[in-house]
Structure 1
Amino acid sequence: MEFFTEKTERSGKHYGMGLYIAKSVAEKHGGQLKIANRQDGCGAVVSLIIKK
């Protein structure tokens, strides 16, 4: 889903475009974007995978 944010207090300052753009770029280059929660529960891990 593009342009998504759950945080209503961030409206006007954040449009949720960063991960959407990163995913689009990865896919255009035959890659992928992987997103997972950290095991310690503090934040997330984002991996941009593009083959040579």
Structure 2
Amino acid sequence: MNETYSAVAGFAQVWGLLYFMILFGVVLAYVAWPQNRKDFDEASQIPFRED
């Protein structure tokens, strides 16, 4: 049983790391995409608006 747990834990660690690295890359690409700049610039000014 201990070998099975170690195998599953190793699998989860490796593939979980890859999953989150890919997810991070997708989010980073979305944020850096030139067409999204206007939306992020507008959102960055929200705290300074006086309603």
Instruction: Tell me whether the two structures share a fold, i.e. TM-score over 0.5.
Output: no
Scaled to the shorter chain, the TM-score interval is 0.3 to 0.5
Larger Rg: 2
**TM-score, normalized by length of structure 2?**
0.35
User: Which structure carries more helix by proportion?
Assistant: 2
**TM-score, normalized by length of structure 1?**
0.34
